[in-house]
Amino acid sequence: MGVRKTLFQTKLTDIVNSDKDGIGVLREDEFGRIFRFVKNSSATALVACGPCLKPVTSVALAGIKKVYTVDVGSEVTASVKMVAGVAVAAIAASGADNKSTNCYGWIQCEGPKRVNFYSSDTAIAVGSVAIATSGLPSSAIFGPAYAEVANSATSAYAYGKYVQVTAVPTTDGAATAISCAVDLHLL
């Protein structure tokens, strides 16, 4: 087993314009939550408490160092089915001159978290899987949750990495942005 980093230059909420903590490095807090230091490679800023996506690539290290937003422009470089984590704070878009943009920051990959969620008239159940969805308001980019049910008429898929709803939020049934408690399983 390798050396485990325990001292970090940035706080989890710091947004910086350079690779200060080792891009791709993992950090565990006293509650067992795990975070990763990444670069937002999108042309759009990441929203705090919203999902960020892994790049679609065959280069292993790129998959842990770069993330993309859930927007139409990222569809060719990332998939909503490949959530990398949840941004701890808003991370600026990557510019042509990365030194002048604050495009590096921390995302949470494991553990309990409150996320921005899009509530519709569909009931949200504890244990259902939240999905990253494009086309929703930027303030609520985890979409309607779904539960996979396997029976004689349907098949279900087992996901090794997922975002699971842990508490049913109170809603009035209207399509609106809400805060939802989830458990992240994205490593």
DSSP summary character for residue 65? H
Walking along the chain (187 residues) 10 residues at a time, the average pLDDT comes out as 68 84 88 92 85 79 81 59 87 71 91 82 72 62 62 58 79 69 90
Q: Compute φ and ψ for 15, nearest 5 degrees.
A: -115, 125
**pLDDT score, position 56:** 78
**pLDDT score, position 113:** 93
Q: Which residue has the tokens 């067992």?
A: 32
**pLDDT score, position 138:** 58
**pLDDT score, position 152:** 58
Assign domain 26-110 to a CATH class.
mainly beta
**How does the average pLDDT of the chain come out, rounded?**
77
C-alpha span between 17 and 150 (Å, rounded): 47
Domain boundaries, the chain: 26-110
**pLDDT score, position 36:** 93
pTM score over 0.75: yes
Q: Where would I find the H helices in the chain?
A: 62-65
Cβ–Cβ under 8 Å, residues 113 and 184: yes
